[in-house]
C-alpha cells in the first residue's frame, strides 16, 4: 500500500509520519484490497479552536469504494488516533454488514416505517425529514448554505449503496438506483434496519 502524507498550513513531523505507517498497517489487515492511502494534516490557527486545532483526514483507495474518515483534536497525534479509530470502525461495520443476510432484511420505505409506528396514519401522511415539530428560531429568515458539492454518480444497486454508506461512516447515502434510475436516499434506522426514500422526478 502506498502511503502519502501531506501537510496543509503546517509541517508534518517525522514522528507523525511513523505513527501514520503504524496505524495504517493495522487498518490494511482489515481490507487487503487497499492500494493507496492519503493522510492530510491541517492546522486551524484560530486561538478559540485550540482544542480542535489539528485535523487529520484519511482516505483509502482500493478496487472498491473510497473509504474516508476525519477527526480533530488538540494535537496531531490525538487527531490521528481518533481518525484511524473511526476508519477501523467503518471497515469493521461494513464487513459485518456484508455478512448479514438481506433476503428478509429489505430496507423499508419511509411511508411504511411511519405506518408501522402509527397504524392510523396513511402512507401519504408520513412526515418528510425535517418537517416534524415547530420550525427552529430564525428559520423564516431563509436557508444558509454552508457547503455545496457536486459528485459524479454512477447508478448502483441498493445493496451497493448500503455498503458505501457504511464505508463513509454516514447515516444516509444519496445515490441513483440502477433499476429505477431514480434519485434515492438510503438511511440508517436501528441496528441493521434501513429505510429508503425515492424521488419521482416525473416524466
Which residues lie closer than 8 Å to 57 by C-beta, 6 or more apart? 38, 39, 40, 42, 68, 69, 70, 83
* Residue 91 within any structural domain of the chain: yes
Mean pLDDT of 176-198: 82
The string of pLDDT tens digits covering residues 1-23 is 899 999 988 899 999 999 999 99
Cβ(61)–Cβ(35) below 8 Å: yes
What is the rounded average pLDDT of the residues 119-136? 45
**Share above pLDDT 90 across residues of the chain, in percent, rounded to a whole number:** 21
pLDDT exceeds cutoff 90 at 99: no
Q: What pLDDT score was predicted for residue 76?
A: 93
169 φψ region: left (φ > 0), alpha (ψ -120 to 50), beta (else): left
Residues 6 and 50 in one domain: yes
Q: Is residue 203 included in any domain, yes or no?
A: no
Based on the fold, state whether residues 70 and 123 are members of the same structural domain: no
Residue 32 burial (C-beta neighbours within 10 Å; 0-12, 13-18, 19+) = exposed
Same domain as 112, residue 47: no
The C-alpha cell 411504511 sits at: 112
Give the pLDDT confidence score for residue 16 in this predicted structure. Answer: 94
Beta sheet of 108-109, edge-to-edge order? 108-109, 194-198, 183-188, 172-176
116 vs 25, more confident: 25
Distance between terminal CA atoms of the chain?
47
Per DSSP, what are the bridge partners of residue 70? 57
Structural domain for 51, as ranges = 2-98
pLDDT higher than 80, residue 96: no
Q: Within a domain: residue 135?
A: no
79 falls within a domain: yes
Domains identified in the chain, total number = 2
pLDDT digits (tens, 9 = 90+) for 34-49: 889 999 999 887 777 7
Amino acid at each position: 500500500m502506498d502511503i502519502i502524507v501531506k501537510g496543509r498550513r503546517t509541517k508534518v513531523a517525522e514522528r507523525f509520519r511513523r505513527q501514520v505507517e503504524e496505524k495504517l498497517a493495522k487498518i490494511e489487515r482489515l481490507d487487503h484490497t487497499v492500494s493507496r492511502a492519503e493522510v492530510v494534516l491541517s492546522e486551524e490557527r484560530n486561538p478559540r479552536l485550540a482544542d480542535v486545532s489539528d485535523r487529520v483526514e484519511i482516505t483509502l483507495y482500493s478496487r472498491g469504494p473510497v473509504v474516508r474518515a476525519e477527526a480533530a483534536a488538540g494535537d496531531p497525534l490525538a487527531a490521528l488516533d481518533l481518525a484511524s479509530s473511526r476508519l477501523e470502525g467503518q471497515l469493521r461495520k461494513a464487513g459485518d454488514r456484508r455478512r448479514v443476510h438481506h433476503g428478509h432484511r429489505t430496507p423499508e420505505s419511509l411511508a411504511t416505517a411511519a405506518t408501522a409506528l402509527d397504524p392510523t396514519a396513511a402512507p401519504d401522511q408520513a412526515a418528510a425529514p425535517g418537517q416534524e415539530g415547530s420550525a427552529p428560531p430564525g428559520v423564516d429568515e431563509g436557508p444558509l448554505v454552508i457547503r455545496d458539492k457536486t459528485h459524479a454518480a454512477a447508478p448502483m444497486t441498493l445493496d451497493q449503496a448500503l455498503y458505501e454508506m457504511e464505508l463513509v461512516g454516514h447515516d444516509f447515502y444519496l445515490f441513483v438506483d440502477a433499476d429505477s434510475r431514480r434519485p434515492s436516499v438510503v438511511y440508517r434506522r436501528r441496528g441493521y434496519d434501513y429505510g429508503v426514500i425515492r424521488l419521482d422526478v416525473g416524466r
